[in-house]
Structure 1
Amino acid sequence: WGLDYPPLTAYQSYIHGIFLKSFLPESVALFTSRGHESYLGKLLMRWTVLSSDILVFIPAVFYFIVAYSSANPRKGKNELAWLMAMILLNPCLIIIDHGHFQY
């Protein structure tokens, strides 16, 4: 099926596919991988999401907080830490990013 996300996501999915192929080739085999389910496959897919968060999302949130704090210098460190926690621990993002996979 086609991707309903921006083109950059296709490259990210391709990189994840290379990663999955090195551990579980049958999970990304052309034509035969549809409907493939295994514990290792689920675990690896979850790790791709968490690694994406660590490599992309968390640094982006940190950069936003730094930019926001420079634009609002009166904000204290506690307020900025609270803002970062609210973004990173947002239940909607956690449910969608970590509970829903569309590979």
Structure 2
Amino acid sequence: MGDQCRIFFLALCLKLLLIPTYRSTDFEVHRHWLALTSSLPLSRWYLDTSSPWTLDYPPLFFAHFSLLLSLPASLVDPAITDLFAGQNYAAQSAVSFLRLSVAASDLFLLAGVHRLSKHFPPLQKRLTLALILCSPALLIVDHIHFQYNGFLLGILLISLSFIAEGRDLAVGSCSPS
């Protein structure tokens, strides 16, 4: 997996350069979801009105993903996960944490591409990995707008690899919901 690691780290370096770039309102949306899921019981996640950025992702997957991310976020900077004092909080620690969490979640994308392309010829495997990990669409949407599509795409690719292997029942274990 030497070439794959080099390509992944090249893409990671590109993503690190994006840390100080423009951030959309999605930054506050995801920061608020970290605060909301870590501060309130599940029964109140979808009823909270403390912010205009209400949680609108499925509870069995993305909301719990936000809860999981809130654990290290509160260690990096407790204000990130403060439901009220954290509103519109945009300290560099918060921006860096969210950008790095998107980049770290791309490990699922790496795993998905690796699994799906493991029987490809070496050149096709490297090219597939480079084109997916350095996709301008993923860079713009995920790493500038604080989305986790690479993470979800990785789960999809892992599922497709199971289908390609004829392991249809294993696909259900990858399903987010």
Give the distance between the partners of 1:20 and 1:43, measured in 2 at CA: 10
Identity score, percent? 23
Within 5 Å, which residues of 2 pair with 1:1-103?
Answer: 1-4=54-57, 7-54=60-107, 56-66=108-118, 69=119, 75-101=120-146
Give yes or no for contact 2:74–2:81 (8 Å, CA) kept in 1: yes
Letter in 2 for 1:61: V
Letter in 1 for 2:104: S
- SS of alignment partner, residue 16 of structure 1: helix
In structure 2, stretches of 5+ residues that fail to align are 1-53, 148-177
- Cα deviation for residue 5 of structure 1 reads 5.7
Letter in 2 for 1:42: V
**Could you report, residue by residue, the CA deviation over 1:2-36 in whole angstroms, capped at 9, with x for unpaired residues?**
13467312121111111110121111102221211
Deviating beyond 6 angstroms after TM superposition, the runs of 4 or more aligned structure 1 residues are: none
The equivalent of 1:72 in structure 2 is none
Letter in 2 for 1:14: L
Total equivalences in the alignment: 94
* TM-score, normalised by the number of residues in structure 2: 0.48
- SS of alignment partner, residue 82 of structure 2: coil
Give the distance between the partners of 1:97 and 1:33, measured in 2 at CA: 22
* TM-score, normalised by the number of residues in structure 1: 0.79
- Cα deviation for residue 89 of structure 1 reads 1.1
